[in-house]
Amino acid sequence: MATALIILAAGKGTRMQSDLPKVLHQIAGAPMLVHALKAGASLSPERTVVVAGHGADAVAKAAQDWDETIEIALQTEQNGTAHAVQQAQTALTDFDGDAIVIFGDTPFIRPETLEAMTAARKTHDIVVLGFEAADPGRYGRLVQNGDQLEKIVEFKDANDQERAITLCNSGVISANLPALFDLIDQVKNDNAAEEYYLTDIIGIARAQGLSATVVTCDEAETLGINSRAELSNAETLFQARARSEALENGVTLQAADTVYFAHDTVIGRDSFIEPNVVFGPGVTIESSATIRAFSHLEDCHVSRGASVGPYARLRPGTELAENTKVGNFVEIKNATVAEGAKVNHLTYIGDATIGEKANVGAGTVTCNYDGVFKHHTDIGANAFIGSGTMLVAPVRVGHDAMTGSGSVITEDVPDNALGLGRTRQVNKDGFAKKLFDMLKARKAKQQKGH
């Protein structure tokens, strides 16, 4: 059965105290909305509709940056969850299949849970995701009769007996799409909040002889984010899960609690991650690599056997081949470092290609930016770049070539050649003492004047 995914993302999130729409606040380097989209994508939906409201343009951009085929529906007035889902009807007029409704501020629902809901749809008309709450609080309650879900009662409208129920509603619902919209058309707003509740479709469906059931999940999966404190707790939860998964997959985390992952970090088995490493979005680390302490990586690829850090920064577009070495206080951006090459100390490499087994000495800078354009530096295989070399791009240092320490290289260095770009040194006898005496006298005069 074909599936349509409807994601509700129209809320303002007043408790966030932010101009940014609630679903765009980030967890592990990605908006909450993207986490929800990733979970829903596991179902391979034929259509995805995001219902936006507050900050709709920004929400739409975030969704379509992730997947340009996503459709956007607008909820201009906040009249409840049933009303929100109803806004997707126009976009899905021609769709005849199942729908699953999830929330853009509920980022931790596992693909396995959504798949379980899809399986339950084979035997029931409506499937609701529920959870046993440690503290039911103000959650809606799921009222069951055997395996049949009879109704969902919002806390505001529940009696004492219903409030004693600990099986709570997550808000996630799956049903046949045309049937879902038909049921929503029958929802009334005669409740304490005067809103159109999506949950009311259960009672309407049961009255029409349709079946409904509950699939349960761990309470942590249903965590909704409504405040900065909850956002912080969600980040903590994500990081704990990511660390646990990395350890289970054969990655060594020397001080696991100090390593931070992005939503899409990939690390191969037998890699060794030292303390205080931060992975930004878009990082892939192959097997048996070492990332040493206090390094920061973003949108880069580190191949098998490579070593990075300590105190290294790999910026977007960095590609390290096998058995490369990037050392302390090295920054690399938009550059390819070929197999066996070394960039070990206090160096900036930007917009460059470094050949196999080349060695880049301490204090080297690729001077890649002229204030308007970026220019490329090409360092050949087996080249040796002397310490303190300024490579003024565009420039090429050939295979097996060398630059002298302290050189400013403004022209290409041919293969096998030595490039020198220094001014001639001149020593002036006794001048240092004269200069210091003059400066000290000037300082003394200034101090006496005060």
Q: What are the pLDDT digits (tens) for 182-204?
A: 999 999 998 777 889 999 999 99
The whole domain housing 392 covers: 228-419
**CA 48/CA 37 separation, integer angstroms:** 9
Six token digits for residue 41: 């994508």
Specify whether 252 is located in the same domain as 214: no
Q: How many domains, in total, are found in the chain?
A: 2
Position 435 in a domain: no
State the pLDDT at residue 418. 97
| 256-261 contact pairs (CB < 8 A, 24+) | 261/28
What DSSP element (H or E) covers 160? Answer: helix 160-163
DSSP letter at 425 equals P
Residue 447 pLDDT more than 90? no
DSSP letter at 156 equals G
CATH number, domain containing residue 208 = 3.90.550.10
Which has the closest alpha carbon to 12: 83, 78, 90, 96? 78
Position 378 in a domain: yes
Six token digits for residue 416: 């096998």
Specify whether 180 is located in the same domain as 213: yes
Query: How many percent of the chain have pLDDT more than 70?
Result: 100
Specify whether 244 is located in the same domain as 374: yes
DSSP letter at 300 equals E
Specify whether 213 is located in the same domain as 233: no
Tell me what the mean pLDDT of segment 342-346 comes to. 97
Q: Tens digits of per-residue pLDDT, 317-331?
A: 999 999 999 999 999
Position 283 in a domain: yes
Q: Which of 187, 222, 257 is the last residue in one of the domains?
A: 222
pLDDT-derived band at 419 (thresholds 50, 70, 90) equals very high
Position 87 in a domain: yes
CB-based contact 352:378 (threshold 8 Å): yes
More confident residue, 305 or 449: 305
State the pLDDT at residue 191. 78
State the pLDDT at residue 350. 98
Which has the closest alpha carbon to 98: 3, 205, 211? 3
Position 39 in a domain: yes
State the pLDDT at residue 101. 97
CATH number, domain containing residue 275 = 2.160.10.10
Six token digits for residue 359: 């060695």
What is the length of the chain? 450
pLDDT-derived band at 425 (thresholds 50, 70, 90) equals confident
Specify whether 360 is located in the same domain as 213: no
Specify whether 201 is located in the same domain as 269: no
State the pLDDT at residue 448. 83
Q: Tens digits of per-residue pLDDT, 112-165?
A: 999 999 999 999 999 999 999 988 888 999 999 988 999 999 888 889 999 999
- Calculate the average pLDDT of the chain: 95
Q: Tens digits of per-residue pLDDT, 23-60?
A: 999 999 999 999 999 999 999 999 999 999 999 999 99
Which of 186-200 are b and which e, b meaning 16 or more Cβ less than 10 Å from the residue's Cβ?
ebeeebeeebbbbbb
pTM, rounded to two decimals: 0.89
Q: Which of 179, 194, 222 is the last residue in one of the domains?
A: 222
State the pLDDT at residue 154. 86
Specify whether 183 is located in the same domain as 270: no
Q: Which amino acid is at 255?
A: A
Specify whether 169 is located in the same domain as 261: no
CB-based contact 279:295 (threshold 8 Å): no
Q: Which of 193, 222, 251 is the last residue in one of the domains?
A: 222
Q: Which of 25, 345, 376, 450 is catalytic?
A: 345
Tell me what the mean pLDDT of segment 97-122 comes to. 95
Residue 269 pLDDT more than 90? yes
Specify whether 170 is located in the same domain as 278: no
Position 433 in a domain: no
Residue 450 pLDDT more than 90? no
Specify whether 216 is located in the same domain as 241: no
Specify whether 216 is located in the same domain as 343: no
Rg (CA), the chain: 30
H helices of 164-200, where?
Answer: 177-184
Tell me what the mean pLDDT of segment 207-216 comes to. 96
**CA 48/CA 61 separation, integer angstroms:** 14
**Distance in angstroms between the alpha carbons of the first and the last residue of the chain:** 88
State the pLDDT at residue 156. 85
Position 437 in a domain: no
CB-count burial class (<10 Å; 0-12, 13-18, 19+) for 328: middle
Position 403 in a domain: yes
Specify whether 320 is located in the same domain as 208: no
State the pLDDT at residue 196. 93
Is 35 in the active site?
no
